[in-house]
Amino acid sequence: MAERNTVVGIDLLVAGALIASMGYLLVRSTAINAFGFSLATVGAVVLLVVPEDIARPALSRLLADSTANLEALLEETGLRARAYYIPSPEGLKSFVSGGDEGSNGGAEITADELRTLARPPLSLIIESRGRKGLLLTPPGATLVREAALGAGDDPEEAVRTVVVETSGLAKGARLVQEGTSIKLELNSPVSESRTPYYNRCLGTLATSVAACAIARVLGSPIRLMEEQLDGATRFAVFRLFSEEASKEER
Amino acid sequence: MDTKLRFILVYSVIVFSAYTAYVFLNQTDLGVYVSSVAVIYFALRLTLNPQYRTRVDFLGLILLALFAYFVAERVLQILEPT
């Protein structure tokens, strides 16, 4: 069944087009013609704007619930390292390596290696540099895909769209990229869920959804490096894993 | 209020207010109506920036083409030797 916005948008568009054409062909009235044109543009706007599929508070609660299973998995496996967010044709993935926090088995992992990890055959437990890790689908992966975000979009705009407008996980977002360092600022994020393992590895919910959006639009893997709450603002720093950014930094 | 809903409401109110004002002023040039709609649309799109279903803004392209057509027509009218 077609959703409400589509039906209303098409109705207004068709009615506007009919009024405009009748105003031009039958009555030769500019005012009627212009009225039809205005009505048609309002219909087009209603048709183009993304409809609200689900109430934002409900969506943020569903997202919070979806972290519960990952929390249990991370607690069970004992993984503590910060996650990598890897964009791939199969969807966005998060890789939590078995190494210590701040390293991946002691050696720096490259963008190509990360991309290889997210290629089929995909499995939950994968091995990187002799250490087992988890390849997860973070809660924001589908949200980012459905938001029609793509490589080349503005990262700050993408974060604002997904975290602020679509899911209502924060009231505002700012993002600054300096070489391979990406600094994120989220204003008044929703109260954090009690998921310490998830928060430690993938970041808090708002940050991890933002990370999905950033990785998707930049088209390169990123890693959460640090995250802290200062008053009502959450600060997070990501590292970009791309050959171009690394060259620029050098 | 949600940005998308605010965009639709504000756009509708401004467009129809402008339309009513032009009707009371006995405006008979369709180009003025269309150009106003285009300017209102682009100004609101820039300020409220709602999320669209499509990556390409088809309405924006159509309005831009119409705006360019009416502006070109007016410029040619001015340049035309009397």
Cβ distance B54 to A35 less than 8 Å, yes or no, reads: no
The answer on A30 and A78 residing in a single domain is no
The answer on A107 and A39 residing in a single domain is no
In the predicted structure, residue B1 carries a pLDDT above the cut 70? no
The answer on A33 and A70 residing in a single domain is no
Cβ distance B4 to A34 less than 8 Å, yes or no, reads: no
B60 vs A: CB within 8 A: no
Cβ distance A30 to B33 less than 8 Å, yes or no, reads: yes
Q: What pLDDT sits at residue A244?
A: 66
- For the record, the structure tokens of A196 come out as 């310490």
Chain B residues whose beta carbon lies within 8 Å of the beta carbon of residue A145 = none
ipTM: 0.92
Report the C-alpha gap between A24 and A15 in whole angstroms.
14
B42 vs A: CB within 8 A: no
Tell me which residue range forms the domain holding A41. Answer: 4-48
Is-contact A210 A183, C-beta < 8 A?
no
Q: Tell me what percent of chain B is helix, strand and coil, each rounded to the nearest 5.
A: 75, 0, 20
The answer on A116 and A10 residing in a single domain is no
Chain A residues whose beta carbon lies within 8 Å of the beta carbon of residue B51 = 49-50, 147-148, 161, 165-166
Percent of chain B at pLDDT > 70 equals 98
Would you give the end-to-end CA distance of chain A in angstroms?
Answer: 54
Indicate the pLDDT class of residue B32, thresholds 50, 70 and 90.
Answer: very high
Distances (CA, A) of B23 to A26, A27, A33, A176, B27: 19, 16, 12, 48, 6
Q: What pLDDT sits at residue A45?
A: 93
Give the residue among B43, B44, B61, B62 at the shortest CA–CA distance from B4. B44
The answer on A141 and A86 residing in a single domain is yes
Cβ partners under 8 Å of residue A148, min gap 6: A50, B51, B52, B53, B54, B55
The answer on A127 and A27 residing in a single domain is no
Q: Which residue of B has its CA nearest to A149?
A: B55
Within 10 angstroms of residue A57's Cβ, the number of other Cβ atoms is 11
Q: What pLDDT sits at residue A249?
A: 55
| Per-residue pLDDT tens digits of chain A, which is 250 residues long | 467 788 889 999 999 999 999 988 888 899 999 999 999 999 999 998 877 666 667 777 777 778 888 888 888 888 888 888 988 887 888 888 876 544 444 556 777 777 777 777 777 777 777 777 888 888 888 888 777 777 778 889 888 888 887 888 888 889 998 888 899 998 888 766 688 888 888 888 889 899 999 988 888 889 989 888 888 888 999 988 876 655 655 5
Q: What pLDDT sits at residue A248?
A: 59
The answer on A201 and A172 residing in a single domain is yes
Report the C-alpha gap between A119 and A168 in whole angstroms.
31
Q: What pLDDT sits at residue A1?
A: 44
DSSP type of residue A198:
H
Cβ distance A150 to B59 less than 8 Å, yes or no, reads: no
The answer on A223 and A178 residing in a single domain is yes
The answer on A81 and A44 residing in a single domain is no
- For the record, the structure tokens of A149 come out as 């975000």
Distances (CA, A) of A88 to A93, A141, A145, A150: 7, 11, 11, 12
Cβ distance B19 to A165 less than 8 Å, yes or no, reads: no
CA distance A45 to chain B (A): 7
The answer on A215 and A116 residing in a single domain is yes
The answer on A116 and A83 residing in a single domain is yes
Chain B residues whose beta carbon lies within 8 Å of the beta carbon of residue A42 = 8, 11-12, 15
Per-residue pLDDT, averaged over B11-29, amounts to 94
Report the C-alpha gap between A174 and A164 in whole angstroms.
11
Cβ distance B27 to A30 less than 8 Å, yes or no, reads: yes
The answer on A122 and A12 residing in a single domain is no
Q: What pLDDT sits at residue A104?
A: 47
- Output the pTM of the full model: 0.65
For chain B, the domains span: 3-79
Cβ distance B34 to A37 less than 8 Å, yes or no, reads: yes
